[in-house]
Amino acid sequence: MDTQRRAGEEGPVPFRSSRFFCVGGKWYFTTREGFDSGPFASRERAEIGLKRFLHVVRMLPEQPEEPQLH
């Protein structure tokens, strides 16, 4: 768990966990949206997979926010 305060944060440090996890000797990464990707042969390969995923996401056009229904 990451217990470091990030730039601009105040107050208690929120709970954080690693984006990487291992199941049955295979590695995966998870996103904030709850998407799990894998399996990868090693943690290093999962880290490369996450970097590629984030690169693709940054290239996507921004979506307008959905209006909130009350």
Q: What is the pLDDT of residues 18-54, one digit of tens each?
A: 899 999 999 999 998 889 999 999 999 999 999 999 9
How far is the C-alpha of 53 from the C-alpha of 9, rounded, in Å?
Answer: 26
Q: What was the pLDDT predicted at 63?
A: 76
Report the alpha-carbon distance of residue 57 to residue 10 in Å, rounded: 28
Q: In DSSP terms, which residues pair with 22 in a beta bridge?
A: 27
Which uninterrupted H or E stretch holds 46? Answer: helix 43-59
